[in-house]
Structures are given as structure tokens and as C-alpha cells.
Structure 1
């Protein structure tokens, strides 16, 4: 299971960084065509919007998988380890349901509804391909949620958000945790 997670991590890292690189190139083209050539590009703004959707959603799955997503730890930090682990299992089960019901089923329906619709500025692109990111990403999120549940139940490891993303400060005599 660890090997599968590493492969999925690498796939998502490659996809998101590649799409981000394409975004930079398209944005540079948009600026050059507008200010240097004085002939604004007709497709670049829409392409950037669609690429941003893909990068954001795939990046969210990657952040969830690497446990680098935003989390509110006030409750879990105050609970005993066993109870905290149970709470995290419940949260991961809810994430699993969300990935299946909303992202996969809802995303699949959105793809079907939008598949006959052409993109306004990029007529060659079917809008269904833009929505395809939802069911695709749901598979990754589903895997990560099952992976987290497996580690909590079978291996007895507690879910932990990586400490290097948290700043702990003392404020008026009590501990305060915030994100860096």
C-alpha cells in the first residue's frame, strides 16, 4: 500500500507541476500577445481558467494525501490518542463518502451534461473534459482516505498533520496554534 501511495503522489506531483508550467507559458503568451504584438490572444484567458481548475483540484488531492492540507486541530489535540484516532477515522469515512457521492457520481453527471458543450473561446475543447477532473480526482482522494483509515485501524498510527506547517505561539499565557 505504501508503494501505491508513493506512485500516486508522484503522478499527482508530475501532473500539477506540468499543468502549472503550462499555465506560466500561456500567461506569458497572453502578456506578450497583448502588449508586444498588440493583438490579444483569444484563447489564453479561458485556457488559464481551465488549467487553474485542474491544478487546484488535483493539488487539493495531493495536499490531502500528503497531510499538508489545512486542518483545525483544536479538538483533536485535546482528546486522548485513542479517541483522536477514532475521530480521524470518522472524518476519513466522511471524506470517502464525499469522494464517491459528490466528486465521482456528481462529477460524472457533470461530465455527461457538459460533453456536448463546446468551450466559448476554444471551440475545439469540449467542456466535459474540463469537468473530467472531478471523477478523476475522486479516485485519488478515495485512495488516500482508505490509506489513512488503513493506517489508523490496522497499524494503529494516528493521523498527524506535519508539524513543520504549524507555528505554535504563546499568547497571553495560553498556547495558540496557527498555520505558517
Structure 2
């Protein structure tokens, strides 16, 4: 039962880039980055499930439930959320109001797509990369550590600039695809 359900889903997630071989070196690099990010997200999701299950089980079988798994699950959830947002950006699956885009055709539609991707680049660069990097550096400089695990908080916040860099990369790939006439989120 799990075999029938799980593996087709994983095959769709990981093999969608393999079905149509990318044409350009940039497209091949984008496919590798999407695949690697997908693997990281999968490992984090499985680890999150294991942490949460152990947290619930330890609550009932132990007089002192695990506090480490609670904190670890929260941090993994942050990483999954932000890396998942970058993955959604790669496949153009973010929430969008496409009323205008559906009405446009040809050059106007391509121009709108480039403007949208430039807005994504501006946001990801200024807020996520620059702001996230400053936050990460400050937490490392202040020697902030997590309460239960005693890990530097900078490692937790490091996902913000990493996800921002991925979003910028995928937006640049989309702009190149749009300007070269190859449209489609993941191609």
C-alpha cells in the first residue's frame, strides 16, 4: 500500500526534470538544483515526522518527555517552509493573481513575466539575502544558542539567505527562459 502511494509521488517529484532533458547548461544546472533541493526537503520532512512521532510517544512512555525533539522539529519546520518556498518558486507554483497575464499574449506577456521575476529578485535580494544574512551574522556574533540543543541560532536563521539565493537563481533562470522564447516554469 505504501509502495503504491509513496513511490509514484516521489517519482513525480524527482523525475519530472528527467523526463524532458534540459537544453542549455543553465537549464541543466537548474534541474540539478531543483533535484537537490527536493532531496533535502524530503529528508527534512521524514526527519520532522520522526521527531514529532518520537515527541508524542515519549510523552506517554517516559516521565520526562524529550524536549530536544520539540525544538528540532520547530527548526526543521522553518527550513522546510523556506526551502519549500524556493522549490515552489522554481516550479512557478506560488500563489499568483494571473488575471492580467491570462489576457496578454506574445511580447506583452513575456515583458510582464520579466517584470514579475525582477520583482521577485528585488524582494529576495533585499529582504531574504541581505536581511537574512545580517540576521545570521548578528546571531553568530552575539553567540545566541538554542535553549535545548545549545546550537548557534545562526544555523537556524541561515535558511533565510539560502532560500533567497535559490529564489534569485530560479528567477534568473525564468528570465533567461522567457527572453530566449522557452516558457514554462521548470524547463
- After TM superposition, the structure 1 = structure 2 runs for residues 56-135 of structure 1, keeping only pairs within 5 Å, are 56-115=81-140, 116-123=143-150, 125-135=151-161
TM-superposition CA deviations, 1:139-178 (whole Å, max 9, x none): 211110100100111x2234569xxxxxxxxxxxxxxxxx
Cα offset, 1:100, TM superposition: 1.4
**TM-score of the pair, normalised by structure 1:** 0.83
Query: What is the match of residue 145 of structure 1?
Result: 171
**Mapped partners of 1:63, 1:121: distance in 2:** 32
Task: Determine whether 1:22 maps to 2:47.
Answer: yes
Cα offset, 1:81, TM superposition: 2.8
> What runs of 5+ residues in structure 1 fail to find an aligned partner?
162-180
> What runs of 5+ residues in structure 2 fail to find an aligned partner?
1-25
**TM-score of the pair, normalised by structure 2:** 0.80
Cα offset, 1:66, TM superposition: 1.4
Cα offset, 1:3, TM superposition: 0.7
Structure with higher strand content: 1
Structure with higher helix content: 2
Query: What is the match of residue 176 of structure 1?
Result: none
Cα offset, 1:136, TM superposition: 1.2
**Mapped partners of 2:56, 2:84: distance in 1:** 25
Cα pair distance change 1:21/1:160, threshold 3 Å: closer
